């Protein structure tokens, strides 16, 4: 093998090149293309592109269905963020206090199990439970003397049914994150506090909680993404955004504009708006969240 060939074969760019090319080709380039597309009327079905300027942005911002999707996204976030962070947090603290090790592991396994399912699988399982006439959930409410509910076709209930499924399917992930973080809290610190006479609650709130705040922060950020992006699988299988879009969210709205009705330019504008919202919220999270997070 010649020296030149060897030098080429050992070039760091041969190592890093594919990843850089993939990032450019599949993320950065499409991102720029989306921005460009949002100014045009064009789709795979119409050959000529028409310049529309900011029309798609104006149209989207004035569209009542977009408003509904925006409000619903807010509802999903306001309900799911506290649930998906708070409940696993309490469970993690409690699980650390279970003295029987093996049993604790069984609990952990059981609680995380739904999280490995995909949203559509989770949704299909619940679809069966939610069925208004033959589903088990109405049998259960019937035993409690509550009249049968239309879980997925009642416009006031549908979004909450999706929230239940999303919570059930996702809280385990945060539980795992919190457990890992709690296991990393230096034992001597907790011991010292105990010797100083701090009770169980004090130790949890004053010592452990601040020490796992980076994990908490991480959980908030990822949960935000999950709620924004991924519940689309649950929405699609459970309600298709209905009845009359009352359980839709921003991503589902984009999917409908772009891929059901083939309004690519409009959908691109929606994508840019979603990205702007995500960027804004992420910035706020870092700006306000980071300061309160303790890194050791």
Query: If you ran DSSP here, which 8-state letter would residue 144 be given?
Result: T
Cβ at position 2, least distance to other proteins in Å = 14
Cβ at position 53, least distance to other proteins in Å = 17
Cβ at position 111, least distance to other proteins in Å = 6
Q: Which of residues 225-244 bind other proteins (CB under 8 A)?
A: 225-226, 228-230, 232-233, 236-237, 242-244
Q: Which of residues 33-62 bind other proteins (CB under 8 A)?
A: 33-34, 37, 43-45
User: Which span sits near other proteins by CB under 8 A: 47-55, 69-77, 123-131?
Assistant: 123-131
Cβ at position 190, least distance to other proteins in Å = 6
Cβ at position 204, least distance to other proteins in Å = 8
- By the 10 Å C-beta count (0-12 exposed, 13-18 middle, 19+ buried), 87 is classed as middle
Listed residue (13, 99, 75, 82) closest to 235, CA to CA: 75
Residues in the chain: 296
Radius of gyration of the chain (CA): 24
User: Which span sits near other proteins by CB under 8 A: 49-57, 69-77, 218-226?
Assistant: 218-226
Per DSSP, the residues of 257-296 read: IIIIS--HHHHHHHHHHHHHHHHHHHHHIIIIIHHH----
Which residue's CB is nearer to other proteins, number 79 or number 181? 181
Which residue's CB is nearer to other proteins, number 33 or number 54? 33
**Of these, 8, 78, 113, 205, which contacts other proteins (CB under 8 A)?**
113
| Cross-strand partners of 46 | 43
Interface with other proteins, residue 212, by CB under 8 A: yes
Q: What are phi and psi of 51, to 5 degrees?
A: -70, 130
Cβ at position 207, least distance to other proteins in Å = 10
Cβ at position 109, least distance to other proteins in Å = 7
Contacts of 216 (CB under 8 A, 6+ apart): 85, 89, 178, 209, 293
* H helix intervals, the chain: 3-9, 12-23, 29-37, 55-62, 64-96, 101-112, 119-130, 136-143, 158-183, 187-195, 200-202, 209-211, 213-225, 232-238, 250-255, 264-284, 290-292
Q: Which of residues 81-110 bind other proteins (CB under 8 A)?
A: 91, 94-101, 103-110
Q: Count how many Cα atoms sit within 13 Å of the Cα of residue 162 in the half-sphere of its side chain.
A: 33
Q: Which of residues 142-201 bind other proteins (CB under 8 A)?
A: 150, 152-155, 168-170, 173, 176-177, 179-185, 187, 190, 194, 200
Cβ at position 106, least distance to other proteins in Å = 8
Which residue's CB is nearer to other proteins, number 163 or number 177? 177
User: Which span sits near other proteins by CB under 8 A: 49-57, 70-78, 259-267?
Assistant: 259-267
Site residue total, other proteins (CB under 8 A): 137
**The token pair that represents 21 in the structure block:** 């090319």
User: Which span sits near other proteins by CB under 8 A: 48-56, 69-77, 126-134?
Assistant: 126-134
């Amino acid at each position: 093998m010649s020296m030149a060939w060897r030098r080429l074969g050992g070039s760091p760019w041969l190592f890093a090149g594919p990843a850089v090319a993939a990032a450019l080709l599949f993320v950065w380039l499409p991102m720029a293309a989306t921005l460009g597309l949002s100014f045009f009327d064009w789709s795979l079905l119409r050959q000529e592109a028409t310049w529309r300027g900011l029309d798609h942005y104006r149209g989207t911002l004035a569209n009542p269905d977009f408003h509904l999707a925006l409000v619903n996204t807010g509802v999903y976030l306001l309900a799911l963020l506290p649930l998906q962070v708070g409940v696993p947090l309490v469970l993690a603290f409690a699980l650390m206090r279970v003295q029987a090790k093996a049993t604790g592991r069984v609990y952990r396994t059981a609680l995380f199990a739904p999280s490995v399912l995909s949203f559509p699988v989770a949704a299909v399982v619940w679809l069966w439970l939610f069925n208004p006439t033959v589903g088990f959930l109405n049998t259960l409410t019937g035993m409690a003397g509550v009249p049968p509910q239309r879980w997925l076709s009642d416009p006031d209930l549908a979004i909450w049914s999706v929230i239940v499924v999303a919570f059930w399917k996702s809280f385990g992930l945060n539980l795992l994150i919190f457990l890992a973080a709690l296991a990393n809290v230096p034992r001597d610190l907790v011991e010292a506090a105990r010797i100083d006479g701090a009770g169980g609650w004090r130790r949890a709130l004053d010592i452990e909680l601040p020490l796992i705040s980076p994990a908490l922060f991480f959980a908030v950020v990822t949960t935000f993404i999950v709620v924004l992006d991924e519940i689309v699988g649950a929405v699609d299988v459970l309600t298709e955004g209905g009845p009359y879009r009352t359980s839709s969210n921003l991503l589902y709205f984009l999917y409908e504009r772009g891929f059901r009705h083939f309004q690519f330019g409009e959908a691109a504008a929606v994508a840019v708006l979603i990205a702007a919202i995500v960027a804004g919220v992420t910035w706020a999270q870092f700006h306000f969240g980071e300061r309160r997070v303790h890194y050791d």
